[in-house]
Chains A and B, each alone.
Chain A
Amino acid sequence: MELTSYHFLLFILAVLILYYALSRVKGAQRYVIAAANVALICFMTRKTILILIVFLVLFVYFAGLLLDKAVKEKRKALSNLILYGALFFVVAYLCYFKFFKWTYELLQQTLALKGIGLVEWIFPIGLSYYTLTMCAYLLDISHKKHEAERNLIDFFAFVTFFPSLIEGPINLYRKLMPQIKEQHMINPDNLSEGFVRILWGYFKKLVIADRIGVLVIGILSDETAAGPLVFFAMVLYSFQIYADFSGGIDVVMGVARMMDIGLTENFKAPLLSVSVTEYWARWHMSLGEFMEKYIYYPIVLNRRIMKLSKKIKSTYYSKAFSAFLASVIVFVIVGIWHGTGWNYVVYGCYQAFFVGGAVLMGPVYKALLQKLHIQAKNPVWHIFVILRTFTVLTFGRYFIRAKDLTGAFELFARTFTSSAGKQTLLEKGLDVPGLIVMAIGILILIIADILAGNGIRIREKVLHMHILARFAFYMVTIVCIIVFGMYGGEFTGASFIYQGF
């Protein structure tokens, strides 16, 4: 069951009916969520995966209770032992599934020789998201931000909250759990808002992202394609990954909104970013929030690092050192979190280079702008820095688009090589009308970001339109998704790009 399948829509419909049918029964909605989480895990993957997930949930649940007790009893050594032991286990669990597939394959081969068959390896659904949720949960208990959850069903409902199980966002206990525990009455505003958001998500995913995907694959899989065409494909890929990921998140947010539950926003017009640092504050914000709170600040505020930074003579660099170090560590982790392979490590280093560089070179950059009499608010300069940031990020995506590091360097080499023959876009999977639809889709994406950047949300405007105009808008959008969406038939709809993480 994929996010774009009608099975998913039927599943959501069934959950919503049950959820609101039991709205007057105190506490029943939490059980509906927990049951929906179990059902979705079973529908989307093997049932054995559910066992693995339940095991991890139980482990963190009990670790949380023990940690809470140790914290309350002010037994620091014990609480540290429980905290770091549990964190180690959770991270090791994630790392095992992310990086050690080969050990399972080795076991499979060994047992096969003895005539014992093992089931195929499957990455547990949503593992990258809920392991971070669990880490945040344990860290917040140790920081006394909240107590441990005592109700196991509630804890399970929170950790594996089904809408965000597929593509995130990463949920924090203190934001989500109170909402799960609340009783939610059916509210037309929530249903309408959620519906519009789901429509917008499917439009982005099926009409824009998957259409771009055809062209990107068409160009990059053609080994004779080189020069600007390859760079153009990577520019398109930047739009594809944005439309795909944010489209998926819109569906998730829409479903949660329909349940009267607000999740952490994951995007804030990232196309308008004027620097890589700002980009990471606008892109995958729930991951950014996690990294900032649980990795960046603990490093910056670490006494040993502060002591080390004081050894630097320059006052500015002394202050900037810990921020630089924290940025580098955070982005290397972000890179590794995105996937296995050295290309992801380099991707993280690439981001760290720009973010860390911005920390170190901040005053130099400022002085340079002043010397050149460039006003940061100058519209031409503003557009220039947006395009500059977009270009820098596009080059960074070479590392995640390629299957490995060698592939990424090959892609770079192809970009800076002139093509042997005449290259035309029309041979790459989309015809002229298809290219026009793609271009319109990208334009809509950019306009939506510009409007969002200026505080104008299209979906809010839609909800305030006259009912007939709203109906017309809904119908046009649904028809556009049905007609122009890339699904079924010859097109094997790629799963949401972030679904694999």
Chain B
Amino acid sequence: MKRFWLKVIIFILLFIPVFLYVQNVLHYRWPDDDTYAKSVDFTRQPADSVDVVAFGTSEMYAAYTPVVTYEEKGITGYNLAVENRSAITTYYQFQFMLKHQKPKIVICDFACLFDDEYALPSVSETIYRRIVDGTPDPAIRLKLIREICRVDPGQDPVSWLFPVFRYHSMWNEITADNFKWDKHEAITFEPFKKGAEAMPVHFDGEPYEITPALWETDRSPDELKEFSMHYYDMMIAECKENGIAVVGLLTPKVSDAAVYQTNYPVMQSYFDSRGVTGLNYNTYEQIERMGLSMEEDYMDAAHLNARGSEKFSRALAADLKAIFHDLPDRREDARISPSWDADLKSYHDMVEGAEAEYDQEHR
């Protein structure tokens, strides 16, 4: 009998690496895989070197470029916003952030305040898979999985813990890349971007003129949803516990100008009740102030390109400095300024290079 159990143990020990290898091969490769890559890059930031961390959806990801706020006012930061939206994932990203940095300000677009069932994993699985797959910290990943399965009992925890049970049907799509041991081996987030998208691209489609008429609407405001508020409230409470200021920020998302024209007052009342500083850049006046034009500064009507992001980030730096007087000027911090100066140069080189390339192609 002992021999039998020994054989069983040997088989299990042999099977585990086989299973992990199969799981690695059949792991979905997210396009660009930037969520994982930038999370890893975030963990490499020197301790207490990041003063502002941004969370939120793709509009925030495209809008906030920390190296520009550093250049403008010496404010260091990191952009942890991702392409999709969920208050649950935002909260667990925030938890991940707290393990590595203690910033002075957390910026969040609170884009999910009006989401409820839509935000459930069964409805928007991609959002959750992206963050679960993109979280390098196993403990946070486990907490997030537990929460996903708690809020949505229909979810199968095994498929979250062992993604091969979800992605196995990809077997007929695998390429040579799938056989590399580290799924993120070839992907690194350009460190100088500090988590920002910073895409030096031109407007995709037919740009239209930004006029005050875009904000005119007779729609009724949406209602705040308990489901998402619960996670935002936890994030705000933990920020307070840690002495972190929270900024609720609306990016200049022209495509939803009318929506936020009615919804922002609701958001503002939420911010006021929680002691959150509200900054609304999605107004005609703010867009005028920043000098944004759709043709020059947007990728599409919702997302800024690198040029627009630069304008936005300079305005944001000025506003943050005006509100939070004690924000340090990191340009004078000998510990981190050399690397940030180098990153700033790389950033400008990248944008200028891309612009020159574009000009050459379209000359």
Interface residues of A (CB under 8 A from B): 6, 186, 188, 191, 431, 433-434, 467, 471, 474-475, 478-479, 482-491
Task: Provide the bound-state CA to CA distance between A367 and B200, in Å.
Answer: 88
Task: Given A479-B22, A488-B165, A488-B166, check contact A471 B14 (CB 8 Å).
Answer: yes
**Which of B22, B159, B169, B171: most chain A CB closer than 10 A?**
B169
What residues of chain B lie closer than 8 Å to A431, measured between beta carbons? Answer: 172
Task: Provide the bound-state CA to CA distance between A431 and B14, in Å.
Answer: 33
Q: Does B164 contact A (CB under 8 A)?
A: yes
Task: Given A186-B1, A474-B11, A475-B15, check contact A485 B172 (CB 8 Å).
Answer: no
Inter-chain contact A478/B15, CB cutoff 8 Å: yes
Q: Does B168 contact A (CB under 8 A)?
A: yes
Q: Does B229 contact A (CB under 8 A)?
A: no
Residue ID in chain B nearest A472 by CB atoms: B14
Inter-chain contact A491/B169, CB cutoff 8 Å: yes
Q: Does B234 contact A (CB under 8 A)?
A: no
**Which of A478, A483, A486: most chain B CB closer than 10 A?**
A483
Q: Which of A6, A186, A467, A483 contacts B168 (CB under 8 A)?
A: A483
> SS class of chain A's interface: helix, strand, loop or mixed?
helix
Q: Which of B1, B19, B158 contacts A6 (CB under 8 A)?
A: B158
> Shortest beta-carbon distance, A431 to chain B, in Å?
7
Task: Provide the bound-state CA to CA distance between A486 and B171, in Å.
Answer: 12
Task: Given A431-B172, A474-B11, A491-B169, check contact A483 B22 (CB 8 Å).
Answer: yes
Q: Does B156 contact A (CB under 8 A)?
A: yes
Closest 3 CB pairs of A and B: A188-B4, A433-B172, A483-B171
Task: Given A484-B171, A489-B169, check contact A188 B1 (CB 8 Å).
Answer: yes
Q: How many residues of B sit at the interface, in one of the four size bands? A: 20 to 34
> Shortest beta-carbon distance, B28 to chain A, in Å?
11
Inter-chain contact A485/B168, CB cutoff 8 Å: yes
Task: Provide the bound-state CA to CA distance between A487 and B158, in Å.
Answer: 12
Q: Which of B11, B22, B172 contacts A482 (CB under 8 A)?
A: B22
Q: Does B356 contact A (CB under 8 A)?
A: no
Q: Does B320 contact A (CB under 8 A)?
A: no
Residue ID in chain A nearest B11 by CB atoms: A471
- A-B contacts, 7 listed (Cβ < 8 Å): A471-B10, A471-B11, A479-B22, A482-B19, A482-B164, A485-B168, A488-B165
Encode contact with A along B147-190: 1 for CB under 8 Å, 0 otherwise. 00000000010110000111011011000000000000000000
Encode contact with A along B193-225: 1 for CB under 8 Å, 0 otherwise. 000000000000000000000000000000000
Interface residues of B in 21-54 (CB under 8 A from A): 22, 26
Q: Does B18 contact A (CB under 8 A)?
A: yes
Task: Given A471-B11, A475-B14, check contact A483 B26 (CB 8 Å).
Answer: yes
Task: Provide the bound-state CA to CA distance between A95 and B158, in Å.
Answer: 39
Q: Does B345 contact A (CB under 8 A)?
A: no
What residues of chain B lie closer than 8 Å to A483, measured between beta carbons? Answer: 22, 26, 164, 168, 171
Inter-chain contact A488/B159, CB cutoff 8 Å: yes
What residues of chain A lie closer than 8 Å to B166, measured between beta carbons? Answer: 488-489
What residues of chain A lie closer than 8 Å to B289, measured between beta carbons? Answer: none
Residue ID in chain B nearest A188 by CB atoms: B4
What residues of chain B lie closer than 8 Å to A479, measured between beta carbons? Answer: 18-19, 22
Inter-chain contact B4/A191, CB cutoff 8 Å: yes
What residues of chain A lie closer than 8 Å to B11, measured between beta carbons? Answer: 471, 474
> Shortest beta-carbon distance, B164 to chain A, in Å?
6
> Shortest beta-carbon distance, A23 to chain B, in Å?
12
What residues of chain B lie closer than 8 Å to A191, measured between beta carbons? Answer: 4
Inter-chain contact A467/B158, CB cutoff 8 Å: no
What residues of chain A lie closer than 8 Å to B22, measured between beta carbons? Answer: 479, 482-483
Q: Does B7 contact A (CB under 8 A)?
A: yes
Task: Provide the bound-state CA to CA distance between A434 and B22, in Å.
Answer: 19
> Shortest beta-carbon distance, B148 to chain A, in Å?
15
Residue ID in chain B nearest A467 by CB atoms: B7
Task: Provide the bound-state CA to CA distance between A488 and B54, in Å.
Answer: 35
Residue ID in chain A nearest B18 by CB atoms: A475
Task: Given A188-B1, A188-B4, A467-B7, check contact A482 B169 (CB 8 Å).
Answer: no
Task: Provide the bound-state CA to CA distance between A491 and B168, in Å.
Answer: 12
What residues of chain A lie closer than 8 Å to B14, measured between beta carbons? Answer: 471, 475
Inter-chain contact A488/B156, CB cutoff 8 Å: yes
What residues of chain A lie closer than 8 Å to B169, measured between beta carbons? Answer: 486, 489-491
Task: Provide the bound-state CA to CA distance between A484 and B26, in Å.
Answer: 12
Task: Provide the bound-state CA to CA distance between A471 and B10, in Å.
Answer: 9
What residues of chain B lie closer than 8 Å to A487, measured between beta carbons? Answer: 165
Inter-chain contact B18/A482, CB cutoff 8 Å: no
What residues of chain B lie closer than 8 Å to A6, measured between beta carbons? Answer: 158
> Shortest beta-carbon distance, A278 to chain B, in Å?
38
Residue ID in chain A nearest B8 by CB atoms: A191
What residues of chain A lie closer than 8 Å to B168, measured between beta carbons? Answer: 482-485, 488
